[in-house]
Structures are given as C-alpha cells and as structure tokens.
Amino acid sequence: MVMAPQVSVIIPARNEEASLGACLDSFSDQSGFSFEVIVVDDHSTDRTKEIAKSMPGVQVIDADPLRPGWTGKNNAIVTGLRLVRCKWILFTDADTIHLPGSLPRALDEARSNQVDMLSYSPEQIAVTLWERATLPVVFAELARQYPPSKVSDPNSPEAAANGQYILVRREAYEAVGGHAAVASEILEDVALARAFKAAGYKIRFRYAPDAVRTRMYRNFSQLREGWTKNLAVLFPNPGWLAIRLLLLWAFPWVVLSLRLAHVLTDLSWDTVFILGLVFHFLRIRSSNFGIEKIVLGAIFGVPMFAYLLLRSKRAHSKGSVAWKGRSYDQKDSTSKRSEPTSVSAGRIS
C-alpha cells in the first residue's frame, strides 16, 4: 500500500543546472518517509528543466509568465502551489543539499514544538577566497540583527526566516496569504515570517548543519550581485553600519602602520593592535564558520562586507536591483529601511 505524502516540497529553479541535480539526489536519502517534490522551472535558459525531468518521481511545472510587480521566486512558488497535496509544505532552494532523514526529522521538530513555521539556516559551503572571507562576516551580522532565540520567542517581535529552508503548516500559510501576500518583496522569507508572527502563528528558527547545507554563490560575480540585492533590505541602516565597521576594522591596521613607521614607539601599542584583531574575531565567531574562515573574515571580510553594504544601499537608492537576468523596481526600499524591525511594521526594514 502506497502511503499518502506528508510533505510537499517546492523548489523554484532558474538557471540552476550546476546545483539542481545534487539537490534532488539528496531527497532520495529521505527513506521511509512519504513526500512529493515539485520543481518549478522559472523560465530557465540552461538545462535546469531537463535535469528536473530526468529525476524519477519529481513533478516539473513551468512557472507562469512573470506578473508585474512580482519577483520571479514568488511567482514560481505560487505556480507550484497548484500541485500541492499535503498539509505541510517545504520551500527550499535548488542549491541546497538535504542530509539523510532530515525531512522527517524536520516535520517531527515542527510538530513537537507546535510551530507553524520551521526555518533552518543551512551550513554554508564556502570554497573561493571571497566566499570564505565574506560569508562569515555576513552571517555574524545577520545573527546580531536577527537573533534566532528572539525570532523563536512568541513574546518577541523579532521575525525572520531563511528562504533556503522554510517548512510551513499549510493552513497557517494560506491564512496569512502565502507568497502572494509578499509578491513584490525581494526578501520574501523575512516578510513571510513577519506575516506569520503578526497573525499570532509560532515560528522556530535555528542554524541546522544537521539538516541542510548550501553553496549560495559559486564566484565573485554571483556573490556581489546576490548580496547587493539583499543587504540594504536586511539591515535598517546599511550606510552607517558599513562606516562603523570600516572604522573599527581600520583602527588596528592604522596602529600597526604607525608602529612600523616608528611614529608610535610604546610597546603597549602592540597590545592595542592585537586586541583590535581579537575584537573582530569575537564579533564574527557567531557566524558558525571554522577558525580559518573567521580569521579571513576579520582580515579581509569586514571591508568586503562594508563595500557590499554600500553597493546595496546605492542600488536600492537608485530604485532598481538585478538578479538572474531580471531587474526589480525598488523605489520604496528607502522607506522600508527606515521602518523599525518589528512585526508591526509588516515589511522588511
């Protein structure tokens, strides 16, 4: 007897031939558990659709023509919802790898904690120098802005989610309007989480290397475009944060330069230089990366993060951001950033 599926998995995919196959393969290790996988091809120009169709048991559907005012991801997800049969839905990205047995464990975790949304922050795979140096700083600052303990606290106004892994109870998801309600949002994950909390639904958010991993960007160009799209929306005051971090980063290096030039002669300045580096190391430690990457972040990643913050602020101020061959109107992004980071704002700050 064939068991009815318990979870519908929706994977929006646009030009993901480099990663989709491994993602779908990882779902074959969820043995002893019934689920359905729906891949929504978002008008890809590479082999994405061909790869999806070659995988046994995977349902493949073409995304509807992109609606005015919608982002491609939201449009693709809403298209895929037509095929959903289950009471629980997992939204995940094509560049994720799901560890064996992680899907039934996630469903058990959501049920046992009586939450309506369970979101995992995946283990980040970093290969190139820019990934290894920049990602620890980005995720450390995200952890400061959106502490998982507060996001998971029903009494806290903080709300966030990671769009790479969002498991929702379908009834609650439909009650808040789903992705259609956040159709224009560049960061639909955070906006959706805020909609859940605003409606009184419970969220659980945590770092989950035991469940899922991802490599978000495979070269510097992708990394720059992706964080340019996101950072100014994630952080309320990106310009001030960039300047503050740059000044804090530059201080120990200025001290070192003055020591080498024999302008500062007291040996105590060596301690100041070391403490300056230790400060950044401790600040980045919450990123969940190894020591080598944290050191790279402290030395090279901080100025890179500041550059990306300023680049993102400039792009949003100009009113348009680019992603995967599309341009999205962001004329209202300045007002979004000025709003407080709270559920009552109902939008991404």
CATH at residue 74: 3.90.550.10
In a domain, 48, yes or no: yes
Provide the mean pLDDT of the chain. 91
Q: What is the β-pairing status of strands 7-13 and 35-41? A: parallel
H-type helices in 128-267, by residue range? 129-145, 148-151, 170-175, 188-198, 220-234, 238-260
In contact, 47 and 108? CB cutoff 8 Å: no
Evaluate if residue 341 carries a pLDDT over 80: no
In a domain, 12, yes or no: yes
Distance CA 63, CA 172 (A): 24
Reported as a pLDDT band with limits 50, 70 and 90, residue 255 is very high
What is the identity of the amino acid at 163? G
Strand order in the sheet with 212-214: 96-98, 212-214, 123-124
In a domain, 342, yes or no: no
Distance CA 161, CA 117 (A): 9
In a domain, 142, yes or no: no
Angle value at C-alpha 231, between 212 and 94, nearest 5 degrees:
30
Most confident listed range (90-99, 315-324, 329-338, 340-349)? 90-99
Reported as a pLDDT band with limits 50, 70 and 90, residue 2 is low
Same domain, yes or no: 276 and 294: yes
In a domain, 135, yes or no: no
Same domain, yes or no: 230 and 202: no
In a domain, 69, yes or no: yes
In a domain, 233, yes or no: yes
pLDDT recorded at residue 5 = 87
In a domain, 341, yes or no: no
Same domain, yes or no: 293 and 196: no
Distance CA 52, CA 61 (A): 10
Q: How buried is residue 279: exposed, middle or buried, by Cβ count under 10 Å (0-12/13-18/19+)?
A: middle
Same domain, yes or no: 109 and 202: yes
By residue range, what is the domain housing residue 298?
Answer: 221-326
Number of domains in the chain: 2
Same domain, yes or no: 65 and 194: yes
How distant is the alpha carbon of residue 89 from its chain centre?
A: 18
% of the chain at pLDDT higher than 90 = 85
Stated pTM of the model: 0.90
Same domain, yes or no: 213 and 309: no
Distance CA 333, CA 320 (A): 9
Same domain, yes or no: 97 and 12: yes
